A and B are shown apart, each in its own frame.
Chain A
Amino acid sequence: MARYILVRLAGLIPVLLVLSMITFFLMHEVPGGPWKEGQRPFSEEQLAALKARYGLDKPVWQQYLTWISGVVRLDFGMSFKHPDESVLGLIGRTWPVTAHLGLMTLVVAFAAGLPLGIIAAMKQNSWLDYLVTLLSTLGFVMPHFVWGILFILIFALVLKWVPTGGWDTPQQWILPVLAYSLAPMATIARYTRASVIEVIRADYVRTARAKGLSEGAVMRRHILRNALIPLLTVFGPLIPDLITGSIFIEAIFRVPGLGKFWVTSTFDRDYPMIIGLTMLWAVLIAFTYLITDVLYVFVDPRIRMK
C-alpha cells in the first residue's frame, strides 16, 4: 500500500511539471503585460525597471527556471496586482472564506442528495421518483449563476427573506450555499439512485430479506454499503471543485473569496498568481484521485492493489 502511494506520488511529478510548463508558456504567450493597461501609465524607463525587478526582461525559459527553483522552496513569488502580498499569502487569506462556503455546500449537497437518491430508488417509477428525477435534471443542467440570479430575484427582492449578498452574517450564507449546492446535489442524487437500483436487485439483498432482517438493517448493512462504493469516483472530484470556489457565486453574492482570482489574475496578467492557482488546482485534483483510489481498497475488500 505504501509502495503504491509512493509510486502514484512519483508519477504525479512529471504531470505537474508538464502542466506548469504549458501554463507558464501559454500565459506568457498571451499579449499584454501586467502593467500596460494599468490606471497609472508608466514611462518607458519605469516599465523597464519594473520588468527588470520581476525578471520579466529575461527569456521565458529562464523565468520558468527561476520560478521552478522558487517552488522547490515553497516560494511562489509575489502577486503583481497586490505587490505587498505573496501568492501563498493571498491564497491563505482568501481561501478560508471560499473553503467555508465550499464545505457548507458540500454538507448540504450530501445531506439532501443522498436521501433523495435513495428514496427515488426505493420507490422506483412512482411519482416521487419522477419528481426527484426532474428536480435533479433541473439542478444538473442549470448553471449555478442562473440559479443564483433567480434566487436573488425571488428570495431577496420579491420575498425579502434574506439579504442579496455579502458574507458577514449567517443569513448571507443561505442563498450562495443553496445556489452552489444544487448542481452537486443533483449529481449525488442521480448517481445514488442509479447505484441503489442496481444493488436492490442483487441476490444477497434477497437473501438478507429472506433470512428475516428488518428493512432498515437490509438498507444500512447490505444495500447502502454496496451501493455507495462505486459512487466514490463520482463524489471525490466534487470536493476540490467546490472548495476552490466559483467566480460566479462569489461575484453574484459579493463573497470575498478566492474565486475571483481565477478570473482577475488572467485579466491582470498576474503571472505568479495564474500559475499558483493552476498548481493549487492540479495538486488538489491529483490528491483527490489518489485518496479516492486508496479509499476504494478500504471500503471494498474485493479490490486489491496491484
Chain B
Amino acid sequence: MPTDLDRSDLLVAPAQAEEFREHTDELHHILREPRSLGRDAVRRFAKNKLAIAGMVIVLLLTIVAVFADDWFIALPSGRTPQPLLARTPYNKGFFGPVGAFPGSQFWMGTDLNGRDLYSRIVFGARISLSIGLLSQLVALVIGIPLGAIAGWRGGRADFLVMRLVDVMSAIPTLLFAFLIMARLGAGFWNVMLAIGLTSWISVCRLTRAQFLSLREKEFIEAGRMIGASSWRIFRAHLLPNALAPIIISLTFGIPIAIFAEASLSFLGVGINPPMPSWGQMLGRDGITNMTYYWHLALFPALMIALTMLGFTLMGDGLRDALDPKMINAK
C-alpha cells in the first residue's frame, strides 16, 4: 500500500482518451438520446391519436380565427380590416337575399338579415376562441394569487379564502354570470370578465392544494435550510412545480368558457349583434326558425360541438402526456 496517495492511475493517457471517445461515439448509435420530461411528454402526446386529432381541430380553428380578416396588418396602419377567410365584414348587413339556403353562392346560406352565414361563422370562431383564452387569463390572475396565499400562508388567510370559495361555489354559476352581465351590460369584454369571475374558483382550489402538498416536500425544506428567502422559494420552487396541473386545468377551462359564452349569448345577454357569436346565432334565429331555416341552427351547433370536442380531446391528451400517473384515472 503506497504511503503517498498516488493518483496517477486515474489520469488517462491521450491515446486511451481517443479510444474512449470513439467508443462513446459508437455507443451513441446504440443508446437512445437522453430524454427530458418535456420531450417524453411530447412523445406520449404524439402517440395519442385522439389528442392529435384534437390539436388539429384547435389549430384549424385558430387559423380561421386569426385569418378571418387582416386586422393584424390593418390595425397598426389604422385602416379598416379587409376580409380574408371570411367573405364579408362581419357587421355588413343585407349582403344577399334573406334566409337563403346553402348553395354555391352562399356556402352556408344567409341569415334573416341577409348576411352571409359562412362569414359570420368564421368571425364567430374569433369571438369564441378569444373569450375562451382571455377569460381563463382572468381566472388565472385571480385564482393563482388567492390559492397561493391560502396554501402557502395557511391559517387565517386560508380560512378567509376558502370561505369565499365556499360561498362562490354555492351561487349557481349561470345566475351569477347573469347578474354580472346585467350589471355591466352585454358586450365582448363584459362577457369575458363575467366568465373569468365565475371560473377562478377551480384554479384557486387547485393552486391551494398544490401549494399545501408542496410546502411539506423535502426540497422546500432544503431551500429554507440554505437560507433562501420566502419569495425565492415561492418563485423558484413552488410555482414551477405547481404549474403543470394548473396548465392542464386551464386547457379544460377554455372549452368550459367557450361553452359559457355560447350559453350567455344563446340567452341574449352575451355578445350583442351585429358582432357574431355561435351561441347568439342559435338562440336568436336558430331555434325560433329551426323548422324551416334549418341551416341557421345546424351550422352554429356543429361549430360549437367541433370546438368543444377539439379542446377537450387536446386537453385529455395533454393531461395524459404531462402526468403519466393520471392515465386512466378519470
Contact = CB atoms under 8 A, between A and B. Distances in A.
Interface stretch (A20-28, A61-69, A217-225): A20-28
Interface string B5-25: 000000000000000000000
A141 B263 contact: no
A137 B183 contact: no
Interface in A249-265: 251-252, 262-263
A285 to B, nearest CB: 6
Contacts of B255: 141
Interface in A161-211: 164, 190-191, 194, 197
B257 interface: no
B263 A266 contact: no
A237 to B, nearest CB: 10
Given A22-B167, A157-B290, A141 B312 contact: yes
Contact of B286 (A30, A134, A149, A194): A149
Given A266-B175, A278-B171, A138 B287 contact: no
Given A138-B309, A277-B175, A197 B328 contact: yes
A4 interface: no
Given A149-B282, A278-B171, A266 B266 contact: no
B23 to A, nearest CB: 42
Nearest to B307: A141
Q: Which of A145, A164, A191 has the most CB of B within 10 A?
A: A145
Interface in B301-330: 301, 304-305, 308-309, 311-313, 316, 328-330
Interface residues of B, number: 39
Contact residue range for chain A?
Answer: 35 or more
A169 to B, nearest CB: 19
A110 interface: no
A31 B294 CA distance: 37
A239 B304 CA distance: 26
A142 B308 contact: yes
A68 B328 CA distance: 48
A247 B264 CA distance: 11
Nearest to A146: B301
B50 to A, nearest CB: 8
A248 B166 contact: no
Contacts of B56: none
B167 A157 contact: no
Interface of B: 50, 163, 166-167, 170-172, 174-175, 178-179, 182-183, 255, 259, 262-263, 266-267, 282, 286-287, 290-291, 294, 297-298, 301, 304-305, 308-309, 311-313, 316, 328-330
8 contacts: A19-B170, A22-B167, A137-B309, A137-B316, A141-B312, A145-B263, A145-B266, A266-B175
